[in-house]
Every structure is written in structure tokens, then in C-alpha cells.
Structure 1
Amino acid sequence: MTDFRHEIPMRWADLDSLNHVNNVVYLRYAADARAEIDGLPSGPISSMEIQFKRPILLGTEPVVVTSTVEGDGVSQSISVQGSPHEFATITSRFGGHAPPVEPQQDVHRAELRLRHTDIDDSGEVSAAQAFELFQETRIPYFTTVMPWMRPGGFVVAQLEVRYHRPIVWQTEPLVARAWMSRVGQGSFAAETQLSSGSEVCASSSAVLVGFDAATQTSRKFGEDELAALRAQLA
């Protein structure tokens, strides 16, 4: 087991509409840190899981990524220099692609076109960029089936992505599928898939929690919200 520590400066472009560091940027911080590590596990990344513990606000202190390499996994803790808090943890598994899965039927479908900038030097969509594609899948799904959802009323607490096969450049759009899988009193789970043709390239599970932007704390759902969310269960 080997530990590595890397400091990464924050940028204005890292922020989202809530003035928090965008969820996808956490993955880029982690990828920047992994790029500096000698002796990463071999093979492609099969899955990544991230837990968001508290939002990062823009500051002058750098983000600190502490990485631990053990076996076929890399565990990373994200903090801010001078802060006692841990803001997120990321676990990446290497060694081969995740087992194939079948496309989910009778769920919300949309098209998602790739950009050339989605493709890295290997000719594939990177693990971190796949998180952005899933974000681009979830948000239109939520705004389509839950138009009552107000901005900032929910935040992502946990994400897992499984990589079943590489996503390479193609002019035809990917098929993005999304559906609700669980609804609780203060959180819900959404599933997404990105497919090329009849094959699922990557799948994702996201847990979102109710959020009060004024107090910057989690909240329980109201009765109307619960009824609307439950109506979307697959």
C-alpha cells in the first residue's frame, strides 16, 4: 500500500451555478493526481465510485488529493489545504472492463452527441469525461419528467460508474437511457446508461438528496415532491 499527495489549484471555471465546485471537476482533480502516480494498477478502469461529503467553494488554497494504491484499486481523498474537512472520496478499480449489461427497456431515452473534445489521447472518452456525459444525461431527464424540480433543490451525494466497453468517436449519437430506481424520504436514486448501437458502453447509479440552498444543508422531501418522485419509479 502506497500513499501519494498532490496539490491542485482551483479555478473560477471549476464552479457550478450554486458556486460550488462542479461534481465532474472532482473527477478531474482525481485524474490529475493519478497522472502523477508511478505504478498504477494495470488495465483499464472498470468502475469508479465517488461520495460527495460537503461542497467546495472557490478559495485561494489548493485542493489536496491524497491517493492510496492497493491491489487493483486506487482510493483518493479530496480536501482543501488548511481545512480539517474531507470533501469527497473516490475509488477507482482497474484491471478490465465491467461485465456487459443489457439496455434497459421502456425508460426515458434521449440522444447524446459526442464532441471531439470528449475524446482523449487514447482515442476514447476518459473515465472522468464519462461522468460529464452522465451528468448531461441526468439533467435533461429530470427537467423533462420532473419540470417542477427547482434549481438547487437536489444535489448529488454519491455516484458510481461502470465501464463496460470503450466509448470511441462516432458521428451517430449515443443513446442515453435514464430512470428512477428508488425514492426515500430525503433521497432518491437514478440509473443511467450510455449505449452505442445495441451495446451498453457505460452505466451509472446516482443518489441525490434534497438540498436547502439557503442553509446549505440537506432536507426531507415535501409530500408533493414525494408523490411526484414516486410516480417516476420504473
Structure 2
Amino acid sequence: MEADGALDPRALERELREAVAADERRERENEAKLRAMRQHVRSYEEFRNIVLASHLKPLEKKDKMGKRRNVLWNPCAAQTKAPQASDVEIPQELDQLPGTSAEFYRDWRRCLKSGKEKYQFLLELGGKALGRIFQADLGFGLLGEFLAVLAENICHEDRDAILQILQSLSGTKRFGLNVDLLSESEKESSRDLFRKLQSMSRDYWTAGCPSSPDGCEAEREAHLMDTSLQKEAEEERIVMELMKCYQVN
């Protein structure tokens, strides 16, 4: 809606495209589930893989990706200018981030090969964009993949960004069902991710607290310590709430 109450045609068109894409995805996944049942698959993992691959089609000549080039795709490294930063090689198609769930699935499945690329992809999008893209529905199996990628690649500088991503995903529709469908390895990745978040939080606030204030700055440092403790308590509350949402004991 615009300020004068008129409808925004572009927003309506975008919502319609996302709704159509979500319906098509659900139809493909349901067909894949029925096909897997008819094939009498032997394990849940095999069943899950069939559903996850339901959108894939054989590549034709025109589908071949163009030349790959090196792009520095690490916003944290770019800001801190860390000497360890390395170039992440990504396809040209990803010069523009996805705006819809259909575009996200295409890039996530076909273009991103390594866990590090997927991790940077999630950080680049951020929690707000991911929440908007998957507001209608978070596709089958994606939540577990996100948790595994985040747990494997998390670093201290990304702690706040990852908390925002986890908060946004927890607000998507059918989130509880997606959590219930996590495999055992994905649940372990979730537990590992939250263990790392809690450890990083403790290390951050312990390092940031002033030690043995004295002299004329004692009062100011005491105030800073109180503020730090309040922020630490708030962050711990957020982590604990997220742990309940993700069913992490």
C-alpha cells in the first residue's frame, strides 16, 4: 500500500509471483513424495533426497553457465581488511541477489557449490531479506541445510547477523513443522550452532568488561559495566528464546 491508500502494482505483482512459485514448489514436492512412496525407498534420507531434487531438470546447452570469475564476496572481510580473507569464486548469475523464493532455490541448488559460498550467500542476504523471501513458506529441507551451513562456518564477527537470520526464519509459516522434520544430523547441527553462539557471547562480554576500575574514572567504568551486563542479559534472553523455537535442549 502507498501513502495515499492506492495499491502498489509492483508489490502486488511480486506477491503474486511468490505465491505462484510457492504453489508450484508444493505441487512438485507432493508429486516427489508420492513417487518416492511408490518406489518403496529404504530410508528417510533417500526419501528426503528425492523431494529435495524435485525441482531439478536436465541441463541443456543454453543452460550452461558462463565464465566464472573471482569476486570478493565477504562483507566482514572487506570491512576489517583481514589478511586471511580469500576470494570466493561465484558464478556471474549471483552478482544480483535473489528477490523471490524461486530465484533463491535456483541459486542455492545450481550455483552455490561449497558450504562457504552458501554461508556468505546467507550473510549477504541477511535476516530481513530471508524472512521476506520465505514469508509464505520455507521449502522442505532448507532449514536443516541452513543450520548445517551456519554451524560449520560461523565466526565471531557474524554472531549478530546469524541471530537475526535465525529470528527471521523462526517467523516463517510452517516453521514448527520444518523443525519437526529435521533429521538427526540436522538437529545436531542446530545444537552445535547454539553452543557456539552461547560460547561466543560469553567470550565477547567477558573480554569487553572493564577490570578493576579505580581513580576518577571508576564511576564511568561502573556505568559501562552495568550497560554491558544489561546487553549481555538481553542477548542471552534472545538466544534462549531461539533455542526453544528450534527445540534445542
TM-score interval w.r.t. the shorter chain? under 0.3
Look at both structures and tell me which one has the larger radius of gyration over its CA atoms: 2
**Structure number with higher strand proportion:** 1
Structure with the bigger RCO (C-alpha within 8 Å, sep 6+) is 1
When you count helix as a share of all residues, which structure comes out higher? 2
Q: Given the two structures, how large is their TM-score scaled by the length of structure 1? A: 0.23
